[in-house]
Structure 1
C-alpha cells in the first residue's frame, strides 16, 4: 500500500528517475540511460525528455545539480532528491507486487499445461 495518494508514475518518468539512481546526469546521458534500462522500449526525444524533466522538477523529485559549458553549449545535470528516491522506491515496490500477482499464479516452467485453466467454449443458447 502506498503512503500517499499520488498516481502511478508514467513509464518515461519512472525510467528517468531510475536513470538518475547512479548519480547526476545531463539530458543526453539521461536519454541514453533510459533507452538502456528499458531495453529500448522507452526512447525519448529531447523535447519529450525536457517535458518529463520539467514535471519531475516541479514535483520535487529531481533537482538541477550543476551546469557546464561543452562546445559552447550549456549542459545541465540533474539528480534525484530524497523525495525522488522515496517515490521511485514506492513505485518499484508497487510494480513488483503487481507482477507477483501474476507470477505466483502462472504455471511453473516444465509443469503440465493441463493445469492451465481454459475459458469455456460452451455457448449459451438464447431462451
Structure 2
C-alpha cells in the first residue's frame, strides 16, 4: 500500500496506471495483480488515505454517445501524511541496519 501512496503522491491515476507505475517505481520488486490492487485501493479508501474520482471516458467513435466511467484515485492529505510517516519510519530502519552492519553505505540492495 505504501507503493500505491508513493505513485499517487505526484498525481491522480486510474487502476492500470497505478499497477504499471508501482512496478516501475519498485524496479519490478512489487507487481500488483488486479485483485491485490483493488483490495489495497479499497482499504486505502476506507482508511481515508485516498479518494476515488469519476472520470467519463469515451470508448467509442465520436458519433456514438456512449461512454464508460473510469475510476481515478487521488491521495488525500491524510494519505500524504501517512506516506511521509512511513518513509520516515523506513529511513530510520535503514539507518539502523547500517549502524549494525546489515547494510553498508555503498550497498543498494540487501542480499
TM bucket (normalised to shorter chain) is: 0.7 to 0.9
How many Å separate the matches in 2 of 1:23 and 1:108?
32
Counterpart check, 1:38 vs 2:29? no
The corresponding residue for 2:55 is 67
Q: Is the 8 A contact 1:27 1:77 kept in 2?
A: yes
Aligned length: 97
Counterpart check, 1:102 vs 2:97? yes
Q: Is the 8 A contact 1:24 1:65 kept in 2?
A: no
- Normalising by structure 2, we get a TM-score of 0.79
Which residue, 75, 84, 99 being the options, matches 2:79? Answer: 84
The corresponding residue for 1:27 is 15
Give the unaligned 5+ runs of structure 2. 60-66, 107-111
How many Å separate the matches in 2 of 1:83 and 1:43?
25
- Normalising by structure 1, we get a TM-score of 0.70
